[in-house]
Each structure stands twice: as structure tokens, then as C-alpha cells.
Amino acid sequence: MPALSVLIAGCGDVGSRLASQLLVEGWQVHGLRRNVSRLPDGVIGVAGDLFNAQCPPTWPSAPLDYLVYCAAATEHDEAGYRAAYVEGLQHVLSWLKQHGQQPRRLLFVSSSSVYGQKDGEWVDETSATEASGYSGRLMLEAEQVALHSGIPASLVRLTGIYGPGREWLLTQVRQGYRVAIDPPLYGNRIHADDAAGLLAFLMQADQRGVALEDCYIGVDDAPAPLAEVVGWLREYLGVTEWADDASVRRAGSKRCSNARARALGWVPRYLSYREGYAAILKG
């Protein structure tokens, strides 16, 4: 039986972790990014720019079983988000058509920013998506491009990704980060390895003939108030000083559920921020 093939468009941190997991399973993995020298060993590099409508000259000519679109915006403004998520996906879909390729399924990596809930509500895949910011609105627009692509598609709405190289919160805590305690500001997280693991799990389930839903939330088992996470990290790190400036508070508070992915059989390796951050700090 020939190896399953996948093209990971936007093969950065999460995409490279996904590629490494699939290579172990014997998949043929194509990774599209500007600098292919940064791809994991064993990945077939496709040097290309998602922001450019011209098809990369090294685009694979053989059929592709799966497409994973997991781009990241390089400019964090409205134009940057449109280029990365809406127009970039449209370019990739056009390149597939140019080569007569019809993958079995498209996984579009989206974000929990599509949810506008901010009072600590529980959110699942059926919850209202009423994003107030441009990032969430443009992600919703890109999701519709994926769902109407003519390829069976599943959206994977990832929550706050953390892991090695994604240590903003650890840096802030070491500097005495202060956050509001009441009302609780709930946040949602997923370790980068678990984000990649969920994508791999969904493709493997699809390959076995499991009927996939059109949307899954990628999150660990334990949404938690930011003050609780900061308190745990302060104790773990032995931080005793607070920053001089006033408490920091960011907008938005919701609790995302992974029940749908769990029901399919997926289990996160890092069940909560405790296991995930402990692994980073021990590493």
C-alpha cells in the first residue's frame, strides 16, 4: 500500500511538529514555506510564498491525499490577516486545481478568536461565532472559503498555543506579571505538540473511514483563570516580586470545550497548563 501523502501549507512551528509525527507513521510529507531549510529532516520542501498568487515551481505533481492549511500572519493587522488566511488559502486551492489534485480532506487551522464570548461562558463547536475583532472576522471568512472549497473540510479552531519557543507568559511571570483576580479571566490553552497531535489524529481517523465533523476545537482539558495560571507559575519558578505597574487585564473570557474531539478518541498529552508548563521548564 503506497504511503499516504499530505501537503502542509504554512509549515512553521505546529506544521513542523505535525510533519515529524506523520513521518514516524510512514507518511510522505510535503512542507510549504519560504525557507525550506528550516523544515524537519524527511520533509519534502516546497519553497513558496502563500501571499503570492504564482504557484511554487516545486509544487508536487503527484496526487495529494490531504491538505493541511496552517499559515500564520506575518503582519498583525487587517491586511496581514486577510493575506495569510483568506487569500493564502485561495492561492493554495487554485494551485491544487492547476495540477488536477483533489485531496480527500482539507484541515484548515483556525482560531478560537472566532468566538466573541467574554463572560466566562463555556463554548463548543455549536456556539455562536460573533467575533468583534478583525482577526476573528477574517478567520470566519477564511473558514467559509475552506468549507466551500469543493474538498471535504474540517476546521480546527486552536486556542492559545504554547510550548518551547512560545514562552511569552513565562517571561511575563518572571518579570512580575500582575493580573486581575476578580472577576476571573478564563483562558484556553493547547500545547504545540497536542495541536499537531490533534491534526494528525483527525487525518488518521478520516483515513480509517471515520466520519469527521466540519469543526473541532483544539484545547486541553482545563480552561483556567489567568490569575490561577500565573500564581502556579510564580510558585513553580520561585518568583516573589510583583511588577510596579497596575494589574494587566486583557479583553475576553471564555471556556472552550474539547468534548467533540475527546468523543472521537483524541486525548491531549498535556491535560492542563500544569503538565505542559512543567514539561517546558524541565526541558
Average the pLDDT over 205-222 and give the result.
98
CA-based torsion, 86, 44, 75, 163: positive or negative: positive
Evaluate whether 258 touches 156 at the Cβ level (below 8 Å): no
Mean per-residue pLDDT over the chain, rounded? 95
Per residue in 234-262, pLDDT tens?
Answer: 999 999 999 877 566 666 799 999 999 99
Domain 5-162+189-219+256-269 adopts which CATH fold?
Rossmann fold (3.40.50)
Phi-psi region of 10 (alpha: psi -120 to 50; beta: other; left: phi over 0): left
Q: In Å, what is the CA distance from 164 to each residue of 113, 114, 123, 170?
A: 22, 25, 27, 11
Domain ranges in the chain? 5-162+189-219+256-269
Average the pLDDT over 215-230 and give the result.
97
Average the pLDDT over 80-108 and give the result.
98
DSSP string computed for 142-181: HHHHHHTSSS-EEEEEE-EEEBTTB-HHHHHHHTT--B--
Spell out the alpha helix ranges (H) of 35-165.
78-81, 88-98, 134-147
Q: What is the pTM of this model?
A: 0.96
pLDDT at position 251: 65
pLDDT at position 243: 86
